[in-house]
Each structure stands twice: as C-alpha cells, then as structure tokens.
Amino acid sequence: MLQETSTQQTDAFSTARDEFVAQWGAISSSWGINRTMAQIHALLLVSNQPMCTDQIMDQLEISRGNAHSNLKELVNWGIVKSVYQKGDRKEYFEAEKDVWRMFCTITRERKRREIDPALDVLRKCAEKTEGMDCPECKVFHDQMKQLTEFVEMISSLMDKLSGADQNKAIPLALKLLT
C-alpha cells in the first residue's frame, strides 16, 4: 500500500512538473522568448539538482543543438548558470531560484535588449525632425517626443524596480496597485 502511495505521488508530481514546464513554454512567446528556451528554464527552475545537457534533452525530447543554444542564451541572460560537479566531466546547469532576483535579472536584460534600442530610435527620430515646418513633420516630431518621454519614464521605472530591494519594492508596487 505504501508503495502505491509513493508511485501515485511520483506520478502526480511528474504530471504537475510537466504541466508547469509546458505552460511556462507556452506563455513565453508573449514575453519575446522562444518556447524551448522557456521550457528549459522552467525545468531547471523546478529541479532540485543541477542538470546536464543530456538530462535536459531527455526530459524535453529536444536535440543537442537546440538544448545547447538555448542553454547558452539562458546563461547569457543571467538566469541560469553553469556548474561543475566534482568527479564529473559534464557541464551542469541550474536556474536562479530566488524569484525576485530572477525577476530583476530578466527586467534588466529585457530593458537592455528591447527598451534601450527602441528609445534610441525614438530619440533619433525626434532629433531628425526637430525644427521641420511642414504640418505632418510637426505632428510626427511631437509624437516622437511624447513616446520618448513615456519610454524614458518606463525605462527609469524598470531601472529603479530591478535595482530595488524586494522588501521595499513589493510594498511600493502594492501601494501603486490599490
């Protein structure tokens, strides 16, 4: 009877873990992250031990190249790190487990990859059309200025939030939401 309960728990755990990994991958596209990269991150996030590439490939049924390139990208993002286990030549990987640090790292990286380049384009467009007299030019310039100011505000907010201590940021965020 005890064996059956243990097997049931193992099956229920595996089902829940697989469901989380699949869902994390499914919602990733709305964050601008590819599905496999998110699934690898999810698997490492819920794993209690570092995993090697072979284990990740087996769990997710993906190719070595796919696993390798996505692991490399996750390491570049700073939300997964490479670890070595004594006596083993394989490279292992583990995800950042602290949710706040993970959020801050992702926020900084997304800002660097998405917000900063967009802000550069907005600023350049505003500069190029400054002082132009045609009505269409003025409307365009004004719109670029407004967008620049808004994105600068968001960028500043992202900087402050990702650099803040969790104990200070969460109460402030909750205050803003109510």
Pairing between β-strand 80-84 and β-strand 51-52 as defined by DSSP bridges: unpaired
Residues 10, 89, single domain; the answer is yes
> Over the stretch 57-116, which tens digit does the pLDDT of each residue have?
999 999 999 999 999 999 999 999 999 988 888 999 999 999 889 888 988 988 998 999
Residues 147, 69, single domain; the answer is no
Residues 107, 88, single domain; the answer is no
Residues 23, 82, single domain; the answer is yes
> Over the stretch 9-31, which tens digit does the pLDDT of each residue have?
888 989 999 999 999 988 887 77
Strand arrangement of the beta sheet that strand 80-84 belongs to: 51-52, 91-95, 80-84
More confident: 158 or 75 = 75
Nearest to 37 by CA among 7, 5, 74: 74
Task: Mark which of 52, 70, 95 sits at the end of a domain.
Answer: 95
Residues 70, 155, single domain; the answer is no
Over 90: is that where the pLDDT of 174 sits?
Answer: no
For 83, the token pair is 């670890």
pTM of the model as a whole = 0.78
Q: Please tell me the predicted confidence (pLDDT) of residue 71.
A: 97
Partners of 51 in the β-ladder: 93
φ/ψ (deg, to 5) at 78:
90, 15
Per the CB < 8 A criterion, the answer to whether 132 and 141 are in contact is yes
Q: Please tell me the predicted confidence (pLDDT) of residue 7.
A: 86
Domain count, the chain: 2
Per the CB < 8 A criterion, the answer to whether 56 and 67 are in contact is yes
Angle subtended by helix axes 35-46 and 64-77, to nearest 10: 70
- For the residues 32-61, what does the mean pLDDT come to? 94
Residues 12, 67, single domain; the answer is yes
Burial (CB count within 10 angstroms: exposed 0-12, middle 13-18, buried 19+), residue 37: buried
Task: Mark which of 40, 63, 95 sits at the end of a domain.
Answer: 95
Residues 11, 75, single domain; the answer is yes
Task: Mark which of 95, 113, 138 sits at the end of a domain.
Answer: 95
Residues 117, 44, single domain; the answer is no
Sign of the alpha-carbon torsion through 130, 136, 138, 144: negative
Residues 90, 104, single domain; the answer is no
Residues 67, 115, single domain; the answer is no
State which residues form the domain around 113.
99-177
Residues 73, 12, single domain; the answer is yes
